[in-house]
Structure 1
Amino acid sequence: MAAQRTETTPRRHRDPRVSVGGLLRPTLTSLLCLGLGAPIYLVGFGLTLDDVGEAGLNALTGFLLADLVLGVAACIAVGPLRRSLWGNVLIICCGMVSSFALPAWLVATKRLGERRMLALDLAVVAAMMLGVWGMYAWQDSVSAPYQSEVPLPSIVTAAVAGLITGCGLLWGRVRGTRAALIASLREQARTAELARAEQARTREAEKRQARFDERRSVARDMHDGVSHQLSIIAMHAGALASRDDLAPAQIREASHVIHQAARDAGSMLADILTALREPVDAENAGQQHLQTLRTLRSVLDSAASRGTNIVVVRQELSTAEWERNPARTASLLRMLDEALVNAGKHAPREPVHLDLQRLDAAVLLRVRNRLPDDVDETVLGTGNGLLGIEEQAMLLGGKARSGPTADDHFSVEVELPWT
């Protein structure tokens, strides 16, 4: 028994509104042209009968019949052939000999004009003038014995036909230009939207990279701090192991130093594990990035060499407190340096107020500068520096915030746990 075939791909159903709209518009166009062409034909038939009489009408029977047949065919075909180049050209040819086809001829002329092809437009105008001139010249020669009035010269009729054709083509060209402009604007809007989306994705990738770099930087600084504490432990433990003549007071002091160093190393190790909660790539995992611990004075001197005018409001951290937390000291000094660089970049001529305050179990760093009156538009910033400050503070269990204040200043505040 043949296996039953199951259909896994859903069938695509046509939107009924699209199919109905696609059939309704051509049908309405054809019906409208038939409705307008019939009275035009009847008016022309009556004028011809009044001009040449029944005898002349009998001589023009073939022409009038061709006018009716070609006109009806052109009006019916003008709807379905809306996108056909040669189909619309044939409809214009029918308009040369048929008054019934005049509405369909106008629609076809407008469509050809929408293509905005100068050579085609000139060819249509020339063919229309020649065709109308030849047709009316033949008609006048056949009906001349029966005409009661002198007809207009064929060249005048051809000129009027060429003028009307040119107007129809110009109308279509205007509509085609407008449609092309709208399509171009829509394409530009779509391209701009794609560019904005790509820019947003790039910006998000830059933020992730900045956070990743800050985590690695914090981890490197903490690695230096842990190494320092372990060297203290090794030195004092080695002294205890190799010396048997130490006094009890010296043994207690060395044991206290080992205990304090072990506790600080454990705290730093916990911070390292927090900072490295995202994996580091294998290529750079084995590289050691050692950074010398800078002092507060070196950071301020470096900023001053860049032209930054620093005003120290207060500095409440002692040398012992700086040395007791080497890893956090390095991170705090890096954040201070980044804040000073940011102030010097965006407000180079404004004094920068530095406030380093000691709280109960934390340190508060505040860097403030007045917002300049004239903003240098050529200075470009990515915002990664301030983002890095926030990331470092968060990894160390603190918090950071930056932005303009109510008194027209820009402030960067960092609060870190400090024991």
Structure 2
Amino acid sequence: MPLPRIARTRRGHVWGETWRLGLAFLFGLAIWGVVQAQLDHRGVAPTFGKDWLLVDLALGLGSTVLLLWRRRWPLAVALATTVLSGVSSVSVGASVLALVSLATRQRWREIAVVLVPWMLAGVSHALVYPTEPEAITLPNVIIGLLSFAVSVAIGWAVGERRAFVASLHERALTAEREQSMRVVQAQVAERARIAREMHDVLAHRISLVAMHSGALAYRIDLAPEQVAETAEIVRESANQALTELRAVLGVLRDVPGVTAPPDGSPEPPQPTLGDLDTLVAESRSGGATVLLDRSGDLDAVPAQVSRSAFRIVQEGLTNARKHAPGAAVRVGVSTSVDGGLDDEAVRITVRNSVPRARTDAADGIRQGVTVGAGLGLLGLTERAVLAGGELTYGPDRTGDFVLTARLPWSR
């Protein structure tokens, strides 16, 4: 696919050069025809004879060919075409285009260097083609200065436009790079937060293993049934700890720079689906209208999945409060057990209406809607994927904003 794009670019470049050089040559031919008509009207011939008209045509063609190198050597080409325009009418078009191209660089010193040869070329052209009784007249000087100023102004404006387009392109690239960095940072931060949430669970499991294994080591008076029961507790706690540790290692894999809390203190226990009532009450206390629909046995959901589900509901309510203030939010949390562990999952739906943005402000900015970076939803997506599930969000057919997630109980 890149090859056709390159071919189109080259064809566009060739066409751009062709019409510019053709326009310059036609403009020179028009000057050449006007000069010839003035000479015929006065009944005089060029200073170098009538055959000089053919030489003029050849010099004009050569000046047009020189324009092909105006971007590589802009000052040299501008000076050469200006000198040739002093003895060739057809070269005038090429000299104008070369001066315009030089002015696009917006360097006053280079432009000033061409001014003197430009004015001298006008005098020389008047001597070669005596269309008027006097070679140097005030109107000729004014015309020369005006033509120089107009050519420079056109070139300068083209240079300004090119600089503006280049700056827009650079800003777009910078914004794209920054957005990519923000996405990566959001993913890393979410993984680090998930890992820190597992601290209290792992500590609890390991402490159980240590306590019961210590009892087996020092309590020699235990009955065989008690020993077997304690050993079963140790085995179960160890297996659960390994499961939680495996989840942590999966989160931290290929994530550089993830560290523990700065003070080294354990974080408090993380909320689960059992804390939904508290979360909804907090949202309602802030003036939000939240409707909670629950179905299934939420207490049977594993702690790790329950924490992730709680975070998804929490972020959905936060987004609704930020981006749709005053809108009613309907939260649905259900468990589905259709037979077999592979079908056990928690399904979450957060739906809210999208308010119409008011643009009646003087500056035309949308009122009443907070514009965010969308990193919270990116973090939720990362969390759901790491848990083996999926998360989608966006407007539905009715215009409501809907966040849906599915988190399996086992991976």
Alignment TM-score, normalising by the size of structure 2: 0.66
Q: CA deviation at 1:391?
A: 0.5
Structure-1 residue corresponding to 2:345: 362
CA separation in 2, counterparts of 1:105 and 1:210?
62
Aligned letter for 2:392? R
- Alpha-carbon deviations, 1:100-132, whole Å to 9, x = none? x7x4697599679967999x69x969x97xx99
Q: Does 1:308 align with 2:288?
A: yes
Counterpart of 1:185 in structure 2 is 161
Aligned equivalent of 1:408: 399
Aligned-pair CA distance for 1:65: 8.1
Structure 1 residue aligned with 2:387: 396
Q: Structure 2 unaligned runs (5+)?
A: 1-13, 68-76, 338-343, 359-365
How many Å apart are 1:242 and its aligned residue?
Answer: 3.3
Residues 88-167 of structure 1: matches in 2 within 5 Å? Answer: 88=82, 103=89, 162-163=138-139, 166=142
Aligned to 1:351: 328
Report if aligned partners of 2:392, 2:403 keep a CA contact under 8 Å in 1.
yes
Change (3 A) 1:409 1:253: farther
Does the Cα contact within 8 Å between 2:35 and 2:131 map onto a contact in 1? no
Shift of 1:203: 0.8
For 2:225 and 2:288, locate their aligned partners in 1 and report how far apart those are by CA, in whole Å: 50
User: How far apart in 2 are the matches of 1:277 and 1:409?
Assistant: 37
**How far apart are 1:265 and its partner, in Å?**
1.6
Structure 1 unaligned residues grouped into runs of 5+: 1-16, 47-63, 95-100, 140-153
| Cα 1:44/1:304, change in 2 over 3 Å | same
> 1:371 maps to which residue?
354
Per the TM alignment, residue 340 of structure 1 is displaced from its structure 2 partner at its CA by 1.5
> Of the candidates 289, 312, 316, which is equivalent to residue 339 of structure 1?
316
Q: Which residue of 1 aligns with 2:303?
A: 326
- Give the stretch that moved more between structures: 287-296 or 329-338: 287-296
Deviates more, 1:202-211 or 1:109-118: 109-118
Residue type of the alignment partner of 1:381: G
Asked if residue 277 in structure 1 is aligned to residue 253 in structure 2, the reply is yes
Could you tell me which residue of structure 1 aligns to residue 218 of structure 2? 242
Aligned to 1:205: 181
Structure 1 residue 342: deviation in Å?
1.0
- The total of aligned residue pairs comes to 348
Residue 256 of structure 1, CA deviation: 3.6
How much does 1:384 deviate?
0.9
1:70-119 CA distances to partner (integer Å, 9 max, x unpaired)? x8798877765985569848966x8xxxxxx7x4697599679967999x
- Report the 3-state secondary structure (helix = DSSP H, G, I; strand = E; otherwise coil) of the residue aligned with 1:356: strand
Work out whether residues 403 and 410 of structure 1, in 8 Å CA contact, stay in contact via their aligned partners in 2: yes
1:167 to partner: Cα distance: 5.5
Q: CA deviation at 1:412?
A: 1.5
Opposite residue 226 of structure 1, the aligned amino acid is L
Question: Identity of aligned pairs, percent?
Answer: 25
CA RMSD of aligned residues (A): 4.7
Q: Which residue of 2 aligns with 1:44?
A: 42
Q: Determine whether 1:225 maps to 2:201.
A: yes
Distance in 2 of aligned mates of 1:177 and 1:417:
68
Alpha-carbon distance in 1 for matches of 2:131, 2:175: 66
Once residues 190 and 227 of structure 2 are traced to their aligned partners in structure 1, the CA distance between those partners, rounded to angstroms, is 41
- The structural deviation recorded for 1:257 is 2.9
Quick check: 1:30–1:77 contact (8 Å CA) kept in 2?
A: no
- Measured after TM superposition, the shift of residue 299 of structure 1 is 3.2
Q: d(CA) in 2 for partners of 1:313 and 1:251?
A: 45
Does structure 1 residue 260 correspond to structure 2 residue 260? no
Q: Give the corresponding residue for 2:74.
A: none
3-state SS of paired residue (2:171): helix
Deviations 1:182-226 (A, max 9, x none): 333233222212211121111111111111111111122223222
Range moving further from structure 2, 330-339 or 264-273: 330-339
Which amino acid is 1:355 matched to?
G
Return 335-344 or 292-301, whichever deviates more: 292-301
Distance 1:290 1:403 in 2: 36
Q: Is the 8 A contact 2:391 2:406 kept in 1?
A: yes
SS of 1:291's equivalent in the other structure is: coil
Out of 403-412 and 172-181, give the one that drifted further. Answer: 172-181
**Would the aligned equivalents of 2:349 and 2:405 in 1 still touch at CA under 8 Å?**
yes
| 1:290 counterpart SS class | coil
